[in-house]
A and B are shown apart, each in its own frame.
Chain A
């Protein structure tokens, strides 16, 4: 599945998106752990947010292959 990254996280990872192979019944917390193992913990501090299908998601949301998942830092618009 495709993961999107934005702002400082995108810059730090040098990636705006990447393809990840997802196990069945993976939660957002498990996906984040998978990404931490791949890229390093320092890229995913506790304030990094996760959105599933363009809505803020907590740790327990179950993700499927067809979902749009994004990780990004706290927002600073306005």
Chain B
């Protein structure tokens, strides 16, 4: 089963890992990625707001999962992305890929995350005590996505 959810509330990694594996005795590997709100700029980021384009986001994520399934022999996948107001250290995103063998699960998880970062319509706004600013897209994210092409 493939699960795609956009939600405000938090998620639980171990619950989601177990759900991906449930009823699939042939799954030997489950790889997950969790992204967190962090402050790399040392600019005292306290909060973050995540905006998305409802409808298109789900469509873009579905297309990413379909592309991963064409490239690798994988089982169930999960993508959960949070939106709304988040605090520093909060979980933002979860991507899970399951497979019979580890290599395809590792690669598919990385592929889905690289595509999510560059294709899915989400936008981050960072808030410090004094100001709020939209996060700029990074060219390194684009080059990481391009290595799959």
Interface residues of A (CB under 8 A from B): 4, 6-8, 11, 47, 51, 54-56, 70, 72-78
Q: List, in ascending order, chain A residues with CB within 8 A of B60's CB.
A: 54
Taking A7-B134, A51-B121, A73-B134 as contacts, is the C-beta distance between A78 and B53 under 8 angstroms? no
Asked if B53 and A76 sit within 8 Å, CB to CB, the answer is no
Interface residues of B (CB under 8 A from A): 35, 50-53, 55-56, 59-60, 81, 92-93, 113, 116-125, 134-137, 141
Could you tell me the distance in whole angstroms from the C-beta of A32 to the nearest C-beta in chain B? 18
Asked if B124 and A76 sit within 8 Å, CB to CB, the answer is yes
Return 20 A-B CB contacts under 8 Å, by A number. A4-B53, A6-B51, A7-B123, A7-B134, A11-B134, A51-B121, A54-B59, A55-B56, A73-B123, A73-B137, A75-B120, A75-B123, A76-B124, A77-B93, A78-B35, A78-B81, A78-B93, A78-B116, A78-B120, A78-B141
User: Number of contacts between A and B (CB, 8 Å)?
Assistant: 72
Asked if A76 and B137 sit within 8 Å, CB to CB, the answer is yes
Q: List, in ascending order, chain A residues with CB within 8 A of B122's CB.
A: 75-78
Q: List, in ascending order, chain B residues with CB within 8 A of A78's CB.
A: 35, 81, 92-93, 113, 116-117, 120, 122, 141
Tell me which of B113, B116, B117, B123 contacts A6 (CB under 8 A): B123
User: What is the chain B residue whose CB lies nearest that of A49?
Assistant: B121
Tell me which of B52, B53, B113, B137 contacts A74 (CB under 8 A): B137
The CA-CA distance from A75 to B52 in the complex, in Å, is 9
User: What is the chain A residue whose CB lies nearest that of B114?
Assistant: A78
* New A-B pairs, 20, CB < 8 Å, besides A73-B123, A76-B137, A78-B93: A4-B53, A6-B51, A6-B53, A7-B125, A51-B121, A54-B60, A55-B59, A70-B56, A72-B53, A72-B123, A76-B117, A76-B124, A77-B121, A77-B122, A78-B81, A78-B113, A78-B116, A78-B117, A78-B120, A78-B122
Could you tell me the distance in whole angstroms from the C-beta of A57 to the nearest C-beta in chain B? 11
User: What is the chain A residue whose CB lies nearest that of B135?
Assistant: A76
Asked if A75 and B121 sit within 8 Å, CB to CB, the answer is yes
Q: List, in ascending order, chain B residues with CB within 8 A of A54's CB.
A: 53, 55-56, 59-60
